[in-house]
Amino acid sequence: VALCEAEAAPPARSGPRVVEPRFNWKLFWQFLRPHLLVLGAAIMLALGAALVNVQIPLLLGQLVEIVAKYTRDHVGSFLTESRNLSTHLLILYGLQGLLTFGYLVLLSRIGERMAADMRRALFSNLLRQDIAFFDAKKTGQLVSRLTTDVQEFKSSFKLVISQGLRSFTQVAGCLVSLSMLSTRLTLLLMVATPALMGAGTLMGSALRKLSRQCQEQVARATGVADEALGNVRTVRAFAMEQREEERYGAELGGSRSKAEELGRGIALFQGLSSIAFNCMVLGTLFIGGSLVAGQQLTGGDLTSFLVASQTVQRSMANLSVLFGQVVRGLSAGSRVFEYMTLSPRIPLSGGHCIPREHLRGSITFHNVCFSYPCRPGFQVLRDFTLTLPPGKIVALVGQSGGGKTTVASLLERFYDPTAGMVTLDGQDLRTLDPSWLRGQVIGFISQEPVLFGTTIMENIRFGKLDASDEEVYAAAREANAHEFITSFPEGYNTVVGERGATLSGGQKQRLAIARALVKQPLVLILDEATSALDSESERLVQEALDRASAGRTVLVIAHRLSTVRGAHQIVVMAHGRVCEVGTHEELLKKGRLYSELIRRQALDAPPLETPR
Ligand code: ADP
Ligand code: MG
């Protein structure tokens, strides 16, 4: 099942998906089930409120009847005669308010709890997805499923129960009392109302379409803002504020004009429906009045009828608005549930672990072929074979885009090879527990270390959650980081800012090294770990890396060949294959690809290194 679902995942395309996922009722039921008791209570209260609402017009009619009597006759005491009725009405009003309060409180409790559960479940399942899934999706899109879509679903759910149930009961109840008051008037009403409702529904669906377009346009505008604010350094560095402003302005303009159009539509709808409602009142009064004149109906009954028919009309209008909300809520819900049921191809855990005392740390790539799932036609690795002997340093060099990082990703099991296999101590990585592999065996340090916006202590502890303070300090010392950390006034409690924005590149990298070392990995992958650094930082980082490399199986991916000279073995790769293997001296002697690369870098290097 997991395979099929993963295969059904769409390839990376920038366009929006056309196919809407279907709403998953089964999953919805699972979220609803814990709240059934409270939901039942809420429904009872809502029904109660609606039934009280049905009573009110009848009593109002009776009151009007008394008023009319006193207008005619002026005998007896109006107050005594109407006191009972008024008290009754007041009690009903109070009861109705109380019931409304009750069901709204219960509903909001259910809604909020369900929304929180859904968010937690969705977030947890999103985190479990394959890296390939994230290659194909925009982060903003995923975040909006967590926020906007859940929100929309929640409010639809609440509205359906509160408004829907209530309106429906009121329509039914009032229709009964209407027909008891006057069958003839009710029949007339039953002819006129559906015609008006039909017209209203037509207009409503046009408005809904407009509103959907409006939302999409708003989402596009938000996307632009999100990208610009999230990458503000790049925007600033290219002095692109103006262009980003224009881009946002253009999308915003689009959304504004759509929203205005929607506003005009809604205004027209409201204006027309107010005319229709008023005409209905006038019509009822006119026809009802002639019935009263013919002694077929009392004035009080006519009043009751008027109030009740207004209730019916209001409720039906509510129901038609609700219908649109239901459609939106269902589609938001199906978007939420879609990613809740997706299962990754590569699970987070499961499979066996090799006990630490038997672990040697020998890694082999056996005839590995690989293409990225989101770009299936493009083969990055072809028949790639490589052995990393235990405790030795192997350097992987080659052109940019040649597939070096891909090799590291396969080792971390971010992806599985399309063909061939990768083994650790002779065991296929696919049979080993991925969380053990990533959490305890492999330390990965990349070119652009990503830190989290918390303290230095917590960032290092990210490598091993149960590390003691001493272990953290030791790792920081090994990574050449202890000194600069303790020079900060807050020391290890310094908060590094979002993505570590308040640190220099070299400091960030040393924290990333400490984070990787704190788990005492047997295998270390260094993917261009120093290439983004200036030479002073590079020296500090390189020193830390050399120290960390001792006694570990190390894969050094490097662009600058000066950093790999000391490796036990240098592997030159090109076009997804291994081309040359040997030590620095052996490869130089061969005089082929490697010496060519060295020669080219030597040509490039002097202008960079001569001080001005
Ligand atoms: P290197 O690290 O040697 O510079 P990479 O392994 O990063 O090269 O990339 C190898 C090839 O794979 C490149 O052509 C690159 O465009 C492609 N590639 C890298 N990452 C992805 C990805 N996540 N999805 C699709 N293609 C990718
Ligand atoms: Mg790379």
The residue to mutate among 375, 406, 415, 555, having the most atoms of ligand 1 within 8 angstroms of its beta carbon, is 406
Q: What spacing in Å lies between the alpha carbon of 406 and ligand 1's midpoint?
A: 6
Mean pLDDT of 221-239: 88
Q: For residue 99, what pLDDT is reported?
A: 94
What are the counts of helices (DSSP H) followed by strands (DSSP E) for the chain? 21, 10
- Over 90: is that where the pLDDT of 179 sits? no
How many Å apart are CA 214 and CA 75, to the nearest integer? 63
Q: What spacing in Å lies between the alpha carbon of 528 and ligand 2's midpoint?
A: 7
> Nearest ligand to the C-alpha of residue 448?
2
CA-closest residue to ligand 1 atom 1: 401
Q: Give the nearest ligand 1 atom to 375 CA.
A: 25
CA-closest residue to ligand 1 atom 16: 401
How many Å apart are CA 208 and CA 324, to the nearest integer? 6
Beta-carbon count within 10 A of 434 CB: 18
Considering just the CA atoms, what is the radius of gyration of the chain in Å?
A: 36
**pTM exceeds 0.90, yes or no:** no
CA-closest residue to ligand 1 atom 23: 135
- For 496-533, the pLDDT digits (tens) are 877 777 888 889 999 999 999 999 999 999 998 888 78
- Over 80: is that where the pLDDT of 383 sits? yes
Q: Of all residues in the chain, what percent are helix, strand and coil, respectively (each to 5)?
A: 65, 10, 25
**Torsion angle, CA of 326/327/330/336, rounded to 10 degrees?**
-120
How many Å apart are CA 507 and CA 482, to the nearest integer? 10
Q: For residue 605, what pLDDT is reported?
A: 55
- Over 50: is that where the pLDDT of 4 sits? no
- Over 60: is that where the pLDDT of 238 sits? yes
Secondary structure of 5-64 in the HEC alphabet? HHHHCCCCCCCCCCCCCCCCHHHHHHHHHHHHHHHHHHHHHHHHHHHHHHHHHHHHHHHH
CB-based contacts of 11, cutoff 8 Å, min separation 6: 136, 373, 374, 376
Q: For residue 8, what pLDDT is reported?
A: 36
The residue to mutate among 137, 382, 405, 575, having the most atoms of ligand 1 within 8 angstroms of its beta carbon, is 405
CB-based contacts of 207, cutoff 8 Å, min separation 6: 262, 265, 266, 269, 324
- CB environment 58-76: b (16+ within 10 A), e (fewer): bbbbbbbbbeebeeeeeee
- Over 60: is that where the pLDDT of 12 sits? no
Q: What spacing in Å lies between the alpha carbon of 284 and ligand 2's midpoint?
A: 78
Q: What spacing in Å lies between the alpha carbon of 369 and ligand 2's midpoint?
A: 17
DSSP-derived letter for residue 161 is I
CA-closest residue to ligand 1 atom 15: 401
Q: What spacing in Å lies between the alpha carbon of 401 and ligand 1's midpoint?
A: 6
- Over 90: is that where the pLDDT of 206 sits? no
**Strand partners for 384:** 368
CB-based contacts of 528, cutoff 8 Å, min separation 6: 446, 447, 557, 558, 559
So what's the ipTM on this one? 0.98
Higher-confidence residue: 13 or 448?
A: 448
How many Å apart are CA 221 and CA 227, to the nearest integer? 10
How many Å apart are CA 70 and CA 73, to the nearest integer? 5
Q: Give the nearest ligand 1 atom to 131 CA.
A: 23
CB-based contacts of 278, cutoff 8 Å, min separation 6: none
Q: Which residues line ligand 1 (CB under 6 A)?
A: 135, 372, 374-375, 380, 400-406
Q: Give the nearest ligand 1 atom to 573 CA.
A: 3
Give the helix ranges, DSSP H, for 160-298.
165-181, 183-230, 232-237, 241-293
> Nearest ligand to the C-alpha of residue 396?
1
Q: What is the mean pLDDT of the chain?
A: 87
CA-closest residue to ligand 1 atom 24: 372
Q: Give the nearest ligand 1 atom to 557 CA.
A: 2
Q: For residue 599, what pLDDT is reported?
A: 85
How many Å apart are CA 116 and CA 53, to the nearest integer? 33
Q: Give the nearest ligand 1 atom to 402 CA.
A: 3
